[in-house]
Amino acid sequence: MSRNEPPFRADHVGSFLRPDRLMKAVRQFRKGDIDAVEYKRVQDAAITDIVRLQESLGFKSVTDGEFRRRGWSAGFIDAVDGFGLREGAIGFQDGGNEKRAELSPYARQALRRDRPIVVDDYVFVKSVATSATPKATMASPPVMHYFLGPRAVDEIVYPDIEIYFDDLAEIYRTEIAALADAGCKYLQLDETALPCNCDQRFRADVLNRGEDPDYLTQRYSELINTAVKDRPANMKVAVHMCRGNLKGTWMAEGGYDPIAECLFANTEVDAWLMEYDTDRAGDFSPLRFMPKNRIVVLGLISTKTPELESKEFLKRRIDEATAYVPLDRLCLSPQCGFSSAPGRGQVITEDDQKRKLERVAETAIEIWGTT
């Protein structure tokens, strides 16, 4: 059951733990102790090494580990002129202990794409990958609205939220066209907004600010469609669904039931990378709404804890999922990246990371005969 196009049977979300030499260079560059040329040299070397690791483990798609970014969504926010940051209403938690709410992007002025967002990063990965398909990753459009709602824009700049959505979608279309010109065949949009819209706390907050959570699911599906509509036929687009991942904590909990039917039926992407590493994501039954031409990558291996999942556990979970999606349309991955917020502390090590990647690849081979 091999696949000749992405997503492949063994996949991963994209970010990896930054090696010590890279974190040291980050600190040195911020202090002015090294210049931009030396900083890029260290980044290039670290990215080359992480691409080699992915290929050595048998992965057929590879990323740059997001090593040039401050965080998983920062690549987009930093590259687009017009964003500021505001504190949202709900923070990370670890089973009851609420953390301070994270800062979320808002449009303080009209948005402009003045430079490439991830194209240059993609081009470098393509230049060092020897056998695998490079994957580009960036934050999904709904992330730029959901956590602040009406506060996601300056109302003087964007008196009508639909104008903001139009500008946002145009930026994505421009970036995706540039990625296509660079040869990109695999794009992943990282989505935390829609999974949070499954959580009753978040849905209550949406209602309290005067919005309808079900309407947002529909509108966000349309926004994603508008953003990716001009992609070439040979570019596969996947959406990664995540409830947040910061030092073993999370933002949201609750199964996909509140959004599944509308989202899966109407969103015109090729694949879904689904967080399913804990009970907080619910059961597999919402996958019954998945169209027959979509691939589902089951995120069964946790990047939040160092404990290594057994092959028996993974095989049992995949077998359970086949009640809703046939085996030939399933793949396997960790539920999230290994380093969504670099430099903010991690609960796993580079050895843990490698063991979990090995487990993904080994399990895929035993189930599908290939990675």
CATH number at residue 235: 3.20.20.210
Span 189-196, mean pLDDT?
Answer: 95
Q: What is the pLDDT of residue 87?
A: 82
Q: In whole angstroms, what is the distance from residue 188 CA to residue 138 CA?
A: 7
Q: Is the pLDDT of residue 247 over 70?
A: no
Span 8-24, mean pLDDT?
Answer: 95
In a domain, 212, yes or no: yes
In a domain, 30, yes or no: no
Q: What is the pLDDT of residue 251?
A: 74
Strand, coil or helix: 246: strand
| Among the listed residues 242, 146, 123, 144, the one whose alpha carbon sits nearest the alpha carbon of residue 188 | 242
Q: Is the pLDDT of residue 260 over 80?
A: yes
In a domain, 343, yes or no: yes
Q: In whole angstroms, what is the distance from residue 342 CA to residue 20 CA?
A: 11
Average pLDDT along the chain? 93
Strand, coil or helix: 364: helix
Q: What is the pLDDT of residue 32?
A: 96
Q: Which range among 42-56, 176-190, 198-212, 247-261 shows the weakest confidence by mean pLDDT?
A: 247-261
Q: Is the pLDDT of residue 297 over 80?
A: yes
Q: Is the pLDDT of residue 276 over 60?
A: yes
Q: What is the pLDDT of residue 280?
A: 87
In a domain, 35, yes or no: no
First to last CA, the chain: 10
Question: E strand or H helix at 96, and its extent?
Answer: none
In a domain, 282, yes or no: yes
- The number of folded domains in the chain is 1
pLDDT digits (tens, 9 = 90+) for 46-62: 999 999 999 999 999 99
Q: What is the pLDDT of residue 98?
A: 57
Span 14-27, mean pLDDT?
Answer: 94
Which pLDDT band, with edges at 50, 70 and 90, does 335 fall under? very high
Q: What is the pLDDT of residue 99?
A: 59
Span 217-224, mean pLDDT?
Answer: 98
In a domain, 171, yes or no: yes
**Placement of tokens 């409830």 in the chain:** 243
Buried b (16+ CB within 10 A) or exposed e, 289-319: bbeeebbbbbbbbbbbebeebeeeebeebbe
Q: Write out the residue range of the structural domain in which residue 303 sits.
A: 58-368
In a domain, 361, yes or no: yes
Beta strands in the chain (DSSP E): 61-62, 80-91, 101-113, 133-134, 136-139, 186-191, 236-241, 271-275, 295-301, 330-334
pLDDT digits (tens, 9 = 90+) for 71-119: 777 778 888 999 998 887 666 555 555 555 667 889 999 999 989 999 9
Give the type of residue at 27: R
Identify whether the C-beta of residue 154 lies closer than 8 Å to the C-beta of residue 109: yes
pLDDT digits (tens, 9 = 90+) for 119-159: 999 999 999 999 999 999 999 999 999 999 999 999 999 99
In a domain, 292, yes or no: yes
